[in-house]
Amino acid sequence: MSGTNSSDIQTGSVRRSSLVRRASFYVAYHLYAKRKIRRIDHTSLFGLSITVPPTVFHPGLYFSSKALARYVSTIPLAGKHVLDMGCGSGIIGLVAASHGATVTAVDLNAKAVEATRHNADRNGFTSLITAFQSNLFESIPDGMRFDVIFWNPPFYPIAPRHEAGLAWNAGENHDVIREFSRSAMSYLVADGFLVIILSTDAGVTHVLNMFLESGYEPDGTIVIPHLFERFLIIRFRGCAPRHDGEEDAE
């Protein structure tokens, strides 16, 4: 009888964890989250008052927003120009502004842009946060550059079918993430960096390869265990991709 190798065991364990996590999410969604995301909800995070309308990613219900916001609060941002990509309710930009950053916040969902503007006003950051609708970098003025770009991307390789799905589904083969990785470097200052958060339930290796192929260099990863999955906060710096036959400098 043939044996079972460790790779098969590990793969089976990952699949079971994913199934358990999704089942738990389904139960939690119907018992608690569903009634919150179908109406305007109010929450408080990191000392900030946040209003979240329907179809906008709720930072109080989903761990990725809180994990990334906590990371944002730990790095020096005073005087920096920050891009909050896919801003949702604006939580990442609000935390950055509370630490002295000037923030540009963009989202494809018009309701998210409205929520970010409202929450900036409500928390006293009107002068520090500019929010407008954009499909990734499409509406960002040419020549605008950022010290830091933060993004909590949609994780799943599925085409979104409605506004709320924009926060979860990245298109087939993670096409939205691929497009982002191809464009972001052009919007960073020379010593700038970008930070993303990913779930291990969402094809991390495939997504990381997109950034490596686009010429980014990993500059640190934080792994955060959470229930039946792990989250990875990954920092990238841009570096010019080497061409075939290019020699190292003497």
At 169, the pLDDT band (50, 70, 90 cuts) reads low
- pLDDT tens profile 24-38: 544 444 344 455 567
The mean pLDDT of the chain is 83
Number of domains in the chain: 1
Name which of 98, 128, 131 is nearest 112 in CA terms. Answer: 131
CA distance 157 to 176: 9
CATH number for position 85: 3.40.50.150
Q: Is 84 helix (H, G, I), strand (E, B) or coil?
A: strand
The answer to whether the beta carbons of residues 170 and 200 sit under 8 Å apart is: no
For residue 45, tell me if it sits in a domain: yes
Pairs from 216-219 (Cβ < 8 Å, separation ≥ 24): 216/181, 216/185, 219/193
Looking at residue 214, its pLDDT comes to: 94
Kind of pairing between the strands at 129-133 and 216-226: unpaired
- pLDDT tens profile 45-55: 999 999 999 99
Q: Is 234 helix (H, G, I), strand (E, B) or coil?
A: strand
Which DSSP letter does residue 238 get?
E
CA distance 223 to 213: 22
- pLDDT tens profile 99-155: 999 999 999 999 999 999 999 999 999 999 999 999 999 999 989 999 999 999 987
For residue 34, tell me if it sits in a domain: no
Q: Which helix (H) or strand (E) holds 173?
A: none
115: exposed, middle or buried (C-beta count within 10 Å: 0-12, 13-18, 19+)?
Answer: buried
CA distance 245 to 250: 15
At 73, the pLDDT band (50, 70, 90 cuts) reads very high
For residue 7, tell me if it sits in a domain: no
Angle between helices 110-122 and 91-98 (to 10 degrees): 30
For residue 16, tell me if it sits in a domain: no
For residue 20, tell me if it sits in a domain: no
At 22, the pLDDT band (50, 70, 90 cuts) reads low
Average pLDDT over residues 171-196: 92
For the chain, give me the number of helices (H) and strands (E)?
7, 9
- pLDDT tens profile 186-204: 999 999 999 999 988 778 8
For residue 192, tell me if it sits in a domain: yes
Angle between helices 91-98 and 63-72 (to 10 degrees): 20
For residue 206, tell me if it sits in a domain: yes
Looking at residue 39, its pLDDT comes to: 80
Chain-centroid distance of CA 126 in Å reads 23
For residue 247, tell me if it sits in a domain: no
Looking at residue 120, its pLDDT comes to: 98
The pTM score is 0.81
Contacts of 213 (CB under 8 A, 6+ apart): 181, 241
Name which of 148, 64, 150, 147 is nearest 106 in CA terms. Answer: 150
Domain limits at 142? 40-238
Quickly list DSSP for 149-167: EEE----BSS---SGGGGG
